[in-house]
Amino acid sequence: MLAYIKGTLEAKMKGFVVIDVGGLGYKVFMSDVGMDKLGKIGDKVKVHTYYQVREDDVSIFGFNTSEELIMFELMISVSGIGAKTALAMLAVIEPSKFALAVISEDVNTLTRNPRNWT
């Protein structure tokens, strides 16, 4: 539904940013790593988005690149991996490294401590 949001970075909070687009503030959940890459308050930003509608919640998840978004969508398609878990995983491993580990069936990379993935 929303491919991306482009506007002014208004706030960085724990776990999300607020992006102003024409006077409307969008709350976009992002990893801390992703938020650090956005820039500073007042900067013009573009965030690729995943719009999630659930029975009890509507959320927007944001990513710096379309590759991160694609990897996020693949991750949440796996049974047992939710949006928050996938977002946390993307914070510690680059999409290309994760994809390579999956394709090459590199169990050691996929099962080691996430802090060592970067």
- Quick one: pLDDT at residue 118? 47
Measured from the Cβ of residue 31, the count of other Cβ atoms closer than 10 Å reads: 21
pLDDT in tens, 39-57: 999 999 999 999 999 899 9
Would the pTM count as exceeding 0.95? Answer: no
Compute the chain's Rg from CA coordinates.
Answer: 15
Indicate the pLDDT class of residue 66, thresholds 50, 70 and 90: very high
pLDDT number for residue 111: 64
For domain 4-112, the CATH architecture is Beta Barrel (2.40)
- In this prediction, residue 117 carries a pLDDT of 47
Phi, psi of 45 (to 5 degrees): -135, 160
pLDDT, tens digit, 9 for 90 and up, residues 72-93: 998 888 888 889 888 888 887 7
Alpha-carbon dihedral 93, 90, 1, 16, rounded to 10 degrees: -140
Q: What integer pLDDT is reported at residue 112 of this predicted model?
A: 59
